[in-house]
Amino acid sequence: MNQYWFYALQDHALREQELARRMAERKLVAEALAARPSLRSRVARRVARKLFTLAVATEREETWRVVWERLEARGRL
């Protein structure tokens, strides 16, 4: 009976160590995922960047049109 109790305690200690190791690994994975932006935010940034680029290109085109119209109005073209 004493041997059974000893093995039960030893098995319990080994399971506790294994659980602690798994929890530490999961914590590391969770921290790594938390540090990285979510897919939703990355896609939103990419779309916002493309929209901003499009807005800048459109603004340049509008600016060029205004300049062109002013030059035409002054008769310089």
4-53, pLDDT tens digit by residue?
Answer: 766 777 888 889 999 999 999 999 999 988 888 888 888 988 988 888 88
- Measure the CA–CA gap between 37 and 42, rounded to whole angstroms: 6
Q: How far is CA 60 from the centre of its chain?
A: 31
Q: Please name the amino acid found at residue 52.
A: F
User: Which of 60 and 49 is assigned the larger pLDDT?
Assistant: 49
pLDDT of residue 24: 96
pLDDT of residue 36: 84
pLDDT of residue 16: 92
pTM above threshold 0.95? no
| Short-list 34, 33, 56, 53, CA closest to 45 | 53
- Measure the CA–CA gap between 38 and 41, rounded to whole angstroms: 5
